[in-house]
């Protein structure tokens, strides 16, 4: 199984996003996610469209914080390749989905209600997501390897991602277990939300 790094850019401005995207491309990255913490969901969507316009071959995904999952999945925009929602999605909601790109849906995700039956949650995620996306217990906290191997066992070949705590020190724990590693904290200067090229290159060299 190939494991791919997807840098997550915490948007503060359009220029900051474009500078970070350029850094990612310089490092040979093929996919990026944009997420809004200090700007609106509308702003991150507009900038994602601009990124796609400037870099049409780059895979561009978004996580629109503050937008309910059932509303986010109604996004019908050919410029957006990926949609990531922290919350899980029900079968009923999945049937209403309009988004046509890759959907990264939360599974036992941080700060979300945790499933009482993880195996059942995995079975549902296989039907409602394109990529079942899990995490550690908090931002920048690494997911326990036991949790990841358990989920992988339940998911079988269904694509899977981790979205917290991946670093150059622990990436080897996850290579071959998951398809995507969504990475921000270990490669970003949190004072200005700029990706540090040397750290991204180091992380990528571990694959």
Considering the chain, what is the average pLDDT of its residues? Answer: 97
Tell me the DSSP string of 132-185. EEE--SSTTPPPPHHHHHHHHHHHTTS-EEE-S---TTTGGGTBTTBSEEEE-G
Query: Cα(86)–Cα(98) distance, rounded to whole angstroms?
Result: 18
At 119-167, the pLDDT tens digits run 999 999 999 999 999 999 999 999 999 999 999 999 999 999 999 999 9
Tokens 């995620």 -> residue = 125
What is the pLDDT, as a whole number, of residue 60? 98
Query: Cα(41)–Cα(80) distance, rounded to whole angstroms?
Result: 13
Query: Cα(45)–Cα(61) distance, rounded to whole angstroms?
Result: 9
What is the pLDDT, as a whole number, of residue 150? 98
Q: Average pLDDT for residues 37-53, to the nearest whole number?
A: 97
Tell me the pTM: 0.97
Which residues are CB-contacts of 159 (< 8 A; sequence separation ≥ 6)? Answer: 130, 131, 132, 179, 180
| Domains defined along the chain, listed by start | 4-205 (3.20.20.70)
What is the pLDDT, as a whole number, of residue 127? 98
**Exposure b/e, 20-51, CB count within 10 A at least 16 = b:** bbebbeebebebbbbbbeebebebbbebbbbb
CB half-sphere exposure, 163, CA atoms < 13 A: 25
Give percent of the chain above pLDDT 90: 99
């Amino acid at each position: 199984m190939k494991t791919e790094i997807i840098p997550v850019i915490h948007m503060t401005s359009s220029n900051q996003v474009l500078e970070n995207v350029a850094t990612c491309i310089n490092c040979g990255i093929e996919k990026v996610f944009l997420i809004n913490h200090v700007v609106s969901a509308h702003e991150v969507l507009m900038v994602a469209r601009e990124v796609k316009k400037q870099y049409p071959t780059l895979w561009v995904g978004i996580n629109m914080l503050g937008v309910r999952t059932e509303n986010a999945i109604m996004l019908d925009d050919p410029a957006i390749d990926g949609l990531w929602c922290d919350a899980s999605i029900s079968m009923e909601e999945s049937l209403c989905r309009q988004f046509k790109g890759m959907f990264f849906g939360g599974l036992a995700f941080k700060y979300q209600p945790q499933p009482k039956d993880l195996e059942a949650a995995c079975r549902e995620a296989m039907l409602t997501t394109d990529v079942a996306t899990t995490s550690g217990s908090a931002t920048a906290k690494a997911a326990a390897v036991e949790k990841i191997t358990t989920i992988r066992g339940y998911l079988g070949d269904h694509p899977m991602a981790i979205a917290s705590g991946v670093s150059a020190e622990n990436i080897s724990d996850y290579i071959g277990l998951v398809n995507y590693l969504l990475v921000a904290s270990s490669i970003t200067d949190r004072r200005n939300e700029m990706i540090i090229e040397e750290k991204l290159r180091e992380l990528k060299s571990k694959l």
